[in-house]
Amino acid sequence: MEREIYKGYVLWGHAIAQQAEILTPERYAGSGTVTRDNKLIDASGVLDLFNSEDAAQEAGLAWARAWVDSNG
């Protein structure tokens, strides 16, 4: 999980390991969460599958930044 403070909100980028079959490479489901004052404001659900944990977390953070820019 990656954490970032953005415009007074605390944003989280999540990467959840996914593996369809034993012989397939591991992939990561990315999602984002927006919190403020230790309260959940919104969460994205699964955004997409990514080939790396970092890419999944960054996608979640990007979603959360866009949410703040549109709704914050």
The pLDDT tens digits along the chain (72 residues) read 899 999 999 999 999 999 777 767 789 999 999 999 999 999 999 999 999 999 999 999 999 999 999 998
pLDDT at 72: 81
Distances in Å between the Cα of 31 and the Cα atoms of 22, 23, 64, 68, 70 are 24, 25, 9, 15, 17
Residue 67 has which token pair? 């949410």
CA dihedral 60, 62, 63, 66 (to 10 degrees): 160
pLDDT at 33: 98
Q: What does DSSP say about strands 2-6 and 48-50: parallel, antiparallel, or unpaired?
A: unpaired
pLDDT at 17: 92
